[in-house]
């Protein structure tokens, strides 16, 4: 009997009891850590809301809340684009999906929109051109990453600089004002007095969330990102999904460009400063999701969280340098926590 | 089982395949009958995995034909094979860890809510529950993620995935390697059920008793040829074992003066709970010791402990009378130990460095004069080892990436040989190299011993152990079951001990 056991089960542990007990214990610890990270994120969010509400009387006013949403709209749309890239490219911070060109993309798209409007083009042409600009930038990223196999971190870093340069050429580093019916509508207030931009963000998030979290396409994108070998074994063309994710993030850059033109009544310089908040938002997203994976709803919540932080600091008259310091700190915290968890999961 | 014997679903004829000059398959013919469980056995390097990769469309054969259901395949792609109803259950379970069971099962063919582009999650969950219950009597919570499942459950999910495509043939590649007994039993029941449902199963395994218990017919591969195909009703595990072993390679091994000298390495009651227990041994100068044991027997873990890659809980390791130490690789190297790891491509060589750089990397201090590398000495040592090991390369400056796997392996061995250590720990030194290279490696090991080094060889090639070593330590379930003198050892007795089917273990149990 013993002999047979040994033959059939090559991996029978020498002391089965001990072997089994160790992973079980560390599993429980892992679950606790995950729950802590998630619960902690929501607790921190609630705490931040509470502190700002107590320390600033206007924080909870409908006007201010609407303002937070409007402010978050631009970085939120970009962060959602970035999240799709991260989902399809995998969460590895170095080799996984990332699109650093998004903020520059938004800047160029806004500049394209503003320039065309100033040149007397109708809204449809200007908006179409802004979206097309974003899409082309996404296509360049897609080709660099899938065709030439450059890691996204480097490919999009290079594209970021090219796009930033193009924006300088186009605008001569000046502000291009634009006042068009589309921009006026977007920057105005919609139903319930909530800014239209806020509806834009929520609408965009909703459509993307449905596509990513409720369709076969979305499930496949998730599979491609989290385990490309498994996706390939399921007959999925991995590179096409990755390329598609960059096209989508490019398009979100174009959309954010229009939003930004609306919010700032034209195109301004310094779009690159938005990169850090966008990356923070996307990386923070997983702690607001159930499985601790990047998700659109998680990123939306995280966009609001970052928006609340920035708004609250403004209300409390804290310097903006402090804000970017805190954002950097958040990146370090979240990335190290999730990386450690992943390493434990093996 | 009532199908007539002439009903062949897969026919391979005269399949040949070489990799970088090394012949992996030299004429394999195989006929697999519909509705049977067909075993495929052979020692490491016999050609099993190459054959399966050819069938899966991952490699193209150099010669020979593959016929499936009477249809001759000209260009074999993974997709073509799958569309003919042949599915592979790979050793590494290809499932997305963050997915639920339903998502993992239906990835790539997701059900939608009628008339919408949206996933029908409820249907996915319901059907996942249904099929898992129907095929395997397994019920998993809807919310269970792949990462939360046991190895066996993951395997079941993967098999179920394949079953959803209504396959004609399922190929299992070493499916029990990571399962415990209860899980393996479940798998066997399941495979019998598949056969009752008319599915043909190809079953690849090292474990002969699995083959005996499960298969209708078995094909034995040896040195890239099919040496026999037998009905299990007409053969036995011991006959199969005999067929697996090549009995005509005695003169592969160099004759060596066997005169062990002073003790070099003494291990006293080394224990690591859950891995191995109370292992003691002494290695002398000029001696070649063999270690053998199945996966999980503790032999590999023990060897890795000697070099400090794993830690022991108790016991001591002493080198040449120096103070015992808890080894770390740095200290082990300082005490003139060298380890050639099994997974050389991952741990042993740097693919983007040249043959020369790889060879001298671990022993640069030998080639350094006044802080600078002495290129002439480095180059002549590399050339010497290239010739000595007959490494097939364009020259010492060729990048390792350009060499075949077997030749990369030789370079990995050369790297440690050029260190001139006292104690060599070799983990499966000849896996994946062709027979000519094996002979070179054997000669080299013999030479090391003759020059006064001590060598410990862990190998699953029984002939190699008997031909090469002075003594063989047999690991079984974490202990040294016994030590045999190589001169008197036989392959059959070793095989029986290693697999636990010998009389001794039966009594011990």
Model confidence pLDDT, tens digit, residues A150-164: 999 999 999 999 999
Name which of B108, B143, B503 to mutate to probe chain A: the one with the most chain A Cβ atoms within 10 A of its Cβ: B108
User: Is the minimum CB–CB distance between A237 and chain B shorter than 8 Å?
Assistant: no
If you average pLDDT over residues A280-297, what whole number do you get?
86
What is the predicted pLDDT for the residue at A122? 92
Q: Which of residues 279-298 of A touch B (CB under 8 A)?
A: 291, 293
Tell me how many residue pairs between chain A and chain B have CB atoms under 8 A apart: 139
For the cut 80, the answer to whether the pLDDT of residue A67 exceeds it is yes
Least Cα separation, residue B258 to chain A (angstroms): 34
Span B2-49, pLDDT tens digits = 444 458 899 999 999 887 656 788 889 999 999 999 999 887 667 887
Which residue of B lies nearest to A87 if distances are taken between CA atoms? B98
The complex's ipTM? 0.74
Q: pTM of the entire structure?
A: 0.68
Dist CA B475 CA B272 (whole Å): 14
User: Any chain B CB within 8 A of the CB of A4?
Assistant: yes
Tell the residue number behind the tokens 């996404």, with chain if given: A138
Torsion, CA A14, CA A16, CA A17, CA A18, rounded to 10: 50
Can you give the pLDDT at residue A23?
A: 41
User: Any CB–CB contact under 8 A between A273 and chain B?
Assistant: no
pLDDT of A3 reads 33
The residue whose two tokens read 């970088």 is B20
Nearest to A2 among B210, B296, B500 (CB): B500
Is pLDDT at A98 greater than 90 in this prediction?
yes
- Find the angle CA(B61)-CA(B67)-CA(B70) to the nearest 5 degrees: 170
Q: Is A266 helix (H, G, I), strand (E, B) or coil?
A: strand
Contact B509 A2 (CB under 8 A): yes
Q: Which of B56, B97, B99 to mutate to test the interface with A (most CBs of A within 10 A)?
A: B99
Q: How much is the average pLDDT of A89-100?
A: 86
Sign (positive or negative) of CA dihedral A163, A169, A173, A179: negative
Where in B459-504 does DSSP place strands (E)? 471-476, 479-485
Q: How far is A6 from chain B (nearest CA, A)?
A: 6
CB-based contact A3 B213, cutoff 8 Å: no
Residue B344 is predicted with a pLDDT of 62
Are residues B344 and B408 in contact, defined by beta-carbon separation less than 8 angstroms? yes
**Residue of A2, A3, A24, A218 for testing the chain B interface, max B β-carbons within 10 Å:** A3
Please state the three-class secondary structure of B106-174 as a single string: HCCCCCECCCCCCECHHHHHHHHHHHHHHHHCCCCCCCCEHHHCCHHHHHHHHHHHHHHCCCCEEEEEC
**Nearest-by-Cβ selection for B499 from A1, A6, A223:** A6
**What local confidence, expressed as pLDDT, does residue A22 receive?**
38
Q: What's the mean per-residue pLDDT of chain B? A: 82
Report chain A's terminal Cα–Cα distance, integer Å: 35
Higher pLDDT, B496 or A84: A84
The pair phi, psi for residue B424, each rounded to 5°, is: -110, 130
| pLDDT for A321 | 74
Q: How far is B281 from chain A (nearest CA, A)?
A: 20
Query: A124: helix, coil or strand?
Result: helix
CA-CA-CA-CA torsion sign (A119, A121, A125, A127): positive
Q: Which residue of A has its CA nearest to B271?
A: A14
Beta carbons of A14 and B277 less than 8 Å apart: yes
Q: Which residues pair with B230 in a beta bridge?
A: B218
Is residue A216 within 8 angstroms of chain B, CB to CB?
Answer: yes
User: In this complex, do A8 and B207 lie within 8 Å of one another by their Cβ atoms?
Assistant: yes
The pLDDT > 90 percentage for chain A reads: 44
Rounded Cα distance between B442 and B252, Å, is 8
For range B220-236, the mean pLDDT:
86
Cβ pair B500:A229 closer than 8 A: no
CB contact under 8 A, B208 and A220: no
The predicted pLDDT at position B392 comes to 74
Across the interface, do A6 and B273 touch by the CB < 8 Å criterion? Answer: no
Q: Which of B112, B146, B451, B217 is nearest to A345 (CA)?
A: B146
| pLDDT at residue B436, rounded to an integer | 66
Give B416-452 pLDDT, tens digit per residue.
777 778 899 998 888 766 666 777 788 888 888 888 8
Q: Tell me, what's the pLDDT at A102?
A: 95
- Comparing C-alpha atoms, which of B478, B476, B479 is closest to residue B502? B476
pLDDT at residue A75 tops 50: yes
Q: Which residue has the higher pLDDT, A79 or B379?
A: A79
Radius of gyration over alpha carbons of chain A, in Å?
Answer: 23
Query: How confident is the model at residue B326, as a pLDDT?
Result: 64
Is residue B371 over pLDDT 90?
no
What's the whole-number average pLDDT of chain A? Answer: 84
**Mean pLDDT calculated for residue range B73-100:** 82
| Cβ–Cβ below 8 Å for B501 and A3 | yes
Predicted pLDDT at B6? 57
Q: Name the least confident of A249-253, B192-196, B234-238.
A: B234-238
Q: What is the CATH number of domain B260-336+422-509?
A: 3.40.50.300
CA dist A115 and A176 (Å) reads 7
Neighbours of A173 (CB within 10 A): 10
pLDDT score for A346: 45
Nearest to B313 by CA among B326, B299, B304: B326
A231/B contact by beta carbon, under 8 A: yes
Query: How far apart are alpha carbons A231 and B94 in whole angstroms?
Result: 8
Q: Is A91 exposed, middle or buried (0-12, 13-18, 19+ CB in 10 A)?
A: buried
Bridge-based pairing state of the strands B225-231 and B217-222: antiparallel
Which part of chain B has CATH 3.40.50.300?
A: 8-244, 260-336+422-509
Q: Other C-beta atoms within 10 Å of A285: how many?
A: 30
Q: What is the mean pLDDT of residues B456-479?
A: 88
What is the pLDDT, as a whole number, of residue A103? Answer: 94
Residues pairing with B373 in the sheet = B368
Cβ burial of B426 (10 Å; 0-12, 13-18, 19+) is buried
- Would you call B179 and A11 a contact, using CB atoms and an 8 Å cutoff? yes
Question: What residues of chain A lie within 8 A of the CB of B108, using their CB?
Answer: 220, 234-236
Q: Where are the beta strands (DSSP E) in chain A?
A: 176-177, 266-267
Q: In chain A, which residue's Cα lies nearest the Cα of B122?
A: A214
pLDDT at B241: 75
Among the partner residues B97, B107, B177, nearest to A220 by beta-carbon distance: B107
Q: Do A9 and B508 touch (CB under 8 A)?
A: no
Pairing, β A266-267 against β B372-373:
unpaired
CA distance B423 to B425: 7
What's residue A200's pLDDT?
93
Phi then psi dihedrals of residue A294, to 5 deg: -60, 135
DSSP 3-state percent helix, strand, coil across chain A (nearest 5): 80, 0, 20
CB atoms A3 and B505 under 8 Å: yes
Chain A residue with CA closest to B79: the answer is A235
pLDDT band at A21 (very low <50, low <70, confident <90, very high): very low
Q: How far apart, in whole angstroms, are the C-alpha atoms of residue A13 and residue B298?
A: 9
pLDDT tens digits for range B268-313: 888 888 888 899 999 999 999 999 988 778 888 898 888 888 888 8
List the structure tokens of B369.
């004069």
Shortest distance between the Cα of A1 and any Cα of chain B, in A, equals: 8
Is residue A48 scored above 80 in pLDDT? yes
- Token look-up 């066996």 returns B152
Distance CA B479, CA B299 (A): 9
Average pLDDT over residues B230-255: 73
Q: What is the pLDDT of residues B107-134, one digit of tens each?
A: 888 888 888 888 898 999 999 998 888 8
Closest chain A C-alpha to B378 CA, distance in angstroms: 35
Collapsed DSSP state (helix, strand, coil) of residue A194: coil
Burial class (CB in 10 A: 0-12, 13-18, 19+), A291: middle
Q: Which residues of B fall within a CB distance of 8 Å from A210?
A: 118
DSSP assignments along A225-262, one per residue: HH-HHHHHHTT--HHHHHHHHHHHHHHHHHHHHHHHHH
How many whole angstroms separate alpha carbon B96 and alpha carbon B145? 9
Domain B8-244 is in which class? Answer: alpha beta
Asked which of A106-110, B279-283, B376-380, B392-396 is least confident by mean pLDDT, the reply is: B392-396
């Amino acid at each position: 009997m013993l002999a047979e056991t040994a033959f059939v089960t090559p991996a029978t542990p020498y002391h089965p009891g001990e072997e089994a007990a160790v992973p079980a214990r560390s599993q429980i610890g892992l679950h606790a850590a995950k729950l802590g990270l998630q619960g902690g994120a929501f607790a921190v969010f609630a705490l931040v809301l509470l502190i700002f509400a107590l320390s600033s009387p206007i924080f909870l006013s409908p006007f201010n809340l609407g303002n937070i949403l409007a402010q978050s709209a631009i970085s939120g749309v970009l962060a959602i684009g970035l999240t799709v890239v991260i989902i399809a490219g995998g969460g590895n911070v170095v080799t996984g999906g990332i699109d650093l060109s998004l903020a520059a993309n938004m800047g160029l798209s806004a500049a394209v929109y503003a320039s065309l409007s100033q040149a007397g083009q109708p809204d449809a042409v200007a908006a179409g051109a802004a979206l097309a600009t974003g899409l082309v930038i996404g296509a360049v990223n897609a080709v660099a990453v899938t065709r030439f196999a450059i890691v996204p971190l480097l490919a999009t870093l290079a594209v970021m600089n090219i796009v930033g340069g193009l924006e300088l050429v186009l605008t001569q580093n000046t502000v291009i004002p634009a006042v068009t019916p589309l921009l006026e509508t977007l920057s105005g207030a919609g139903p319930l007095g909530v800014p239209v931009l806020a509806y834009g963000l929520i609408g965009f998030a909703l459509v993307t969330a449905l596509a990513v979290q409720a369709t076969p396409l979305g499930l496949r994108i998730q599979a491609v990102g989290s385990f490309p070998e498994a996706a390939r074994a399921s007959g999925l063309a991995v590179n096409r999904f990755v390329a598609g994710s960059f096209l989508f993030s490019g398009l979100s850059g174009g959309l954010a460009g229009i939003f930004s033109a609306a919010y700032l009544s034209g195109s301004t310089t310094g779009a690159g400063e938005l990169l850090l908040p966008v990356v923070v938002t996307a990386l923070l997203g997983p702690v607001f999701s159930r499985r601790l994976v990047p998700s659109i709803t998680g990123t939306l919540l995280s966009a609001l969280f970052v928006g609340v932080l920035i708004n609250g600091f403004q209300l409390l008259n804290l310097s903006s340098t402090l804000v970017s310091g805190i954002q950097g700190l958040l990146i370090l915290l979240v990335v190290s926590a999730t990386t450690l968890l992943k390493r434990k999961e093996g | 089982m009532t199908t007539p014997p002439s009903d062949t679903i897969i026919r391979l004829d005269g399949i040949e395949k070489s990799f970088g000059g090394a012949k992996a398959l030299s004429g394999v013919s195989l006929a697999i009958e519909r509705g049977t469980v067909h075993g495929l056995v052979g020692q490491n390097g016999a050609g099993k995995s190459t054959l399966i990769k050819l069938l899966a469309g991952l490699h193209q054969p150099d010669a020979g034909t593959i016929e499936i259901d009477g249809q001759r395949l000209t260009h074999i792609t993974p997709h073509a094979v799958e569309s003919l109803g042949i599915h592979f259950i790979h050793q590494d379970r290809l499932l997305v860890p963050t997915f639920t069971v339903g998502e993992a099962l239906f990835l790539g063919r997701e059900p939608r809510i009628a008339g919408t582009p949206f996933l029908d999650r409820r249907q996915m969950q319901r059907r996942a529950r249904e099929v898992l219950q129907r095929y395997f009597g397994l019920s998993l919570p809807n919310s269970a993620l792949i990462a939360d499942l046991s190895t066996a459950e993951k395997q079941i999910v993967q098999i179920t995935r394949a079953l959803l495509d209504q396959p004609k043939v399922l190929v299992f590649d070493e499916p029990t390697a990571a399962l415990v007994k209860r899980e393996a039993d479940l798998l066997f029941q399941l495979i019998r059920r598949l056969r009752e449902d008319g599915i043909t199963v190809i079953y690849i395994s090292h474990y002969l008793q699995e083959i005996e218990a499960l298969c209708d017919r078995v094909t034995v591969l040896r040195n890239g040829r099919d040496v026999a195909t037998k009905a299990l009703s007409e053969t036995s595990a011991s006959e199969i074992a005999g067929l697996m072993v090549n009995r005509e390679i005695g003169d592969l091994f160099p004759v060596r003066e066997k005169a062990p000298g002073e003790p070099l390495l003494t291990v006293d009651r080394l224990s690591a709970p859950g891995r191995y227990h109370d292992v003691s041994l002494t290695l002398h100068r000029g001696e070649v010791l063999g270690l053998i044991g199945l996966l999980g027997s503790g032999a590999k873990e023990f060897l890795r402990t000697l070099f400090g890659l794993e830690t022991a809980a108790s016991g001591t390791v002493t080198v040449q009378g120096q103070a015992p130490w808890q080894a770390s690789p740095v200290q082990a190297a300082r005490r003139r130990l060298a380890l050639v790891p099994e997974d050389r491509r991952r741990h042993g060589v740097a693919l983007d460095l040249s043959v020369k750089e790889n060879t001298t990397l671990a022993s640069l201090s030998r080639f350094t004069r006044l802080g600078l590398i002495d290129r002439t000495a480095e180059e002549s040592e590399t050339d010497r080892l290239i010739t000595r090991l007959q490494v097939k390369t364009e020259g010492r400056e060729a990048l390792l990436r350009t060499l075949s796997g077997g030749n990369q392996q030789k370079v990995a061995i050369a790297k440690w040989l050029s260190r001139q250590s006292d104690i060599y720990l070799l983990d499966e030194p000849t896996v994946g190299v062709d027979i000519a290279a094996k002979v070179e490696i054997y000669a080299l090991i013999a030479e090391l011993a003759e020059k006064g080094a001590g060598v410990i060889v862990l190998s699953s090639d029984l002939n190699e152990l008997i031909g090469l070593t002075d003594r063989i330590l047999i690991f079984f379930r974490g202990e040294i079951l016994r030590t045999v003198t190589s001169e008197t050892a036989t392959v059959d007795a070793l095989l029986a001990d290693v697999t636990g089917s010998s009389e001794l273990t039966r009594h011990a149990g």
